[in-house]
C-alpha cells in the first residue's frame, strides 16, 4: 500500500509514527507559516487561569506557550501524542521553560487515560485523530459538559480552487495518513458539540472549528 494517503480509507498508526519520527527535529520550522492559525484556535478556547486543557496530538508542544498564557501557573496542560520523537521535543520545551504544570502522555489519543474531566481541548493539525469516531468519543468522555473545543487543520477547498488544493495536497501528504474526511475534517467531532462554528482561512485550505461539549 506504500505511504500514499490517498490509498487508505482510514488513518494508519504505524505510518503516522514513521512520518513524525522522521519530521520531529525539523517540525517546528515547517509549521512556522501556520502559527497565526494556532493563535486563532487557542483563542477559541477562551482559557481562564486555573483551568485544565488537553492538547491532543500535541506533537513538539508548539501550542504549550499559548495554553500556558491562558491557564497560568495554577492551571494544567495535558499533552497527548503517540510519537516518542515528537514528545521528546515537547519534553525539552517544557524543561526549557520550567513549566511545572504540563503532563505528557505517550499514547494513541483513543487509548490515553487521564483522571478527571478537563475544561477545554485543542486539536491542532491532527487530522488522523479527528477521523476516528470512537477515539473522539473517548476523548470527549474526559471533558466537562460545556467544555470548550477547538480544532484546526488542513481541508480541501472547493474544487475550482486548484492552487489552494495543490498546497493542501502537498502539506497533507506529509502530515496525514489518509485523505478521508479532508472536505469536512471536523464532522465526527461536531456530533459532540453545541454551537459549532467553522471559520476558513488561507484561501479555503485551512479551517478553525470550535464549539462546546454537549450537556
Ligand atoms: C501535524 S502534528 C501536530 C502537532 C501539534 N498539534 C501542532 O499543532 O504543532 C500531528 C501530531 O499528531 C500525532 N498523532 C497522529 N495520530 C495520533 C494518534 N492517533 N494519537 C496520538 N497522536 C497522534 C502525531 O504523532 C503528531 O505529533
What atom of ligand 1 comes closest to residue 62's alpha carbon? 9
57, 85, 132, best to mutate for ligand 1 pocket (most atoms within 8 Å of CB): 57
> Whole-angstrom Cα distance, residue 99 to residue 5?
36
Domain topology for 5-213: Rossmann fold (3.40.50)
Q: Report angle CA 108, 188, 16 to the nearest 5 degrees.
A: 35
pLDDT-derived band at 2 (thresholds 50, 70, 90) equals low
What atom of ligand 1 comes closest to residue 122's alpha carbon? 6
- Does 153 sit in the ligand 1 pocket, CB within 6 Å? no
- pLDDT at position 18 over 60: yes
Of the candidates 199, 177, 196, 178, the one whose C-alpha atom is nearest the C-alpha of residue 188 is: 196
Predicted confidence (pLDDT) per residue in 56-71, tens digit? 999 999 999 999 999 9
Distance 90 CA to ligand 1 centre (A): 12
Q: What is the largest CA-CA distance in the chain?
A: 48
- pLDDT at position 202 over 60: yes
pLDDT-derived band at 148 (thresholds 50, 70, 90) equals very high
Phi (first) and psi of residue 67, to 5 degrees: -70, -40
| C-alpha cell of residue 177 | 495518513
pLDDT-derived band at 11 (thresholds 50, 70, 90) equals very high
- pLDDT at position 3 over 80: no
- Does 83 sit in the ligand 1 pocket, CB within 6 Å? yes
> Whole-angstrom Cα distance, residue 32 to residue 204?
19
Which residue, judged by its Cα, is nearest atom 26 of ligand 1? 59
pLDDT-derived band at 1 (thresholds 50, 70, 90) equals very low
What atom of ligand 1 comes closest to residue 87's alpha carbon? 27
Distance 100 CA to ligand 1 centre (A): 22
What atom of ligand 1 comes closest to residue 86's alpha carbon? 27
Mean pLDDT of the chain: 96
The pLDDT score that the predictor gives to residue 8 is: 87
The pLDDT score that the predictor gives to residue 126 is: 98
Predicted confidence (pLDDT) per residue in 173-190, tens digit? 989 999 999 999 999 999
pTM (predicted TM-score): 0.97
Question: CB within 8 A of 68, min separation 6: which ones?
Answer: 75, 77, 97, 99, 101, 102
- Does 31 sit in the ligand 1 pocket, CB within 6 Å? yes
pLDDT-derived band at 23 (thresholds 50, 70, 90) equals very high
Which residue, judged by its Cα, is nearest atom 18 of ligand 1? 108
Domain boundaries, the chain: 5-213
Distance 139 CA to ligand 1 centre (A): 14
5, 11, 15, 16, best to mutate for ligand 1 pocket (most atoms within 8 Å of CB): 16
Run of H or E residues at 36: helix 35-44
Of the candidates 212, 99, 83, the one whose C-alpha atom is nearest the C-alpha of residue 151 is: 212
Predicted confidence (pLDDT) per residue in 76-128, tens digit? 999 999 999 999 999 999 999 999 999 999 999 999 989 999 999 999 999 99
Which residue, judged by its Cα, is nearest atom 13 of ligand 1? 57
Amino acid at each position: 500500500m506504500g505511504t500514499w494517503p490517498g490509498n487508505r480509507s482510514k488513518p494508519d498508526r504505524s505510518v503516522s509514527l514513521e512520518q513524525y519520527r522522521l519530521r520531529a527535529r525539523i517540525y517546528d520550522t515547517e509549521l512556522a507559516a501556520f502559527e497565526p492559525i494556532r493563535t486563532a484556535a487557542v483563542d477559541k478556547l477562551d482559557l481562564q487561569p486555573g483551568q485544565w486543557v488537553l492538547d491532543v496530538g500535541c506533537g513538539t508542544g508548539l501550542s504549550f506557550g499559548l495554553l500556558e498564557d491562558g491557564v497560568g501557573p495554577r492551571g494544567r496542560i495535558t499533552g497527548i501524542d503517540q510519537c516518542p520523537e515528537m514528545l521528546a521535543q515537547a519534553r525539552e520545551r517544557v524543561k526549557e521553560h520550567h513549566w511545572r504544570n504540563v503532563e505528557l502522555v505517550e499514547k494513541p489519543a483513543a487509548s490515553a487515560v487521564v483522571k478527571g474531566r478537563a475544561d477545554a481541548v485543542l486539536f491542532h493539525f491532527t487530522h488522523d485523530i479527528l477521523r476516528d469516531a470512537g477515539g473522539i468519543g473517548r476523548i470527549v468522555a474526559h471533558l466537562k459538559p460545556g467544555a470548550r473545543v477547538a480544532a484546526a487543520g488542513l481541508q480541501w477547498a472547493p474544487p475550482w480552487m486548484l492552487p489552494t488544493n495543490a498546497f493542501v495536497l502537498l502539506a497533507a501528504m506529509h502530515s496525514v495518513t489518509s485523505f478521508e474526511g479532508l472536505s469536512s475534517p471536523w464532522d465526527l467531532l461536531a456530533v459532540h458539540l453545541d454551537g459549532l462554528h467553522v471559520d476558513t482561512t488561507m484561501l479555503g485550505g485551512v479551517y478553525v472549528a470550535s464549539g462546546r461539549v454537549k450537556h
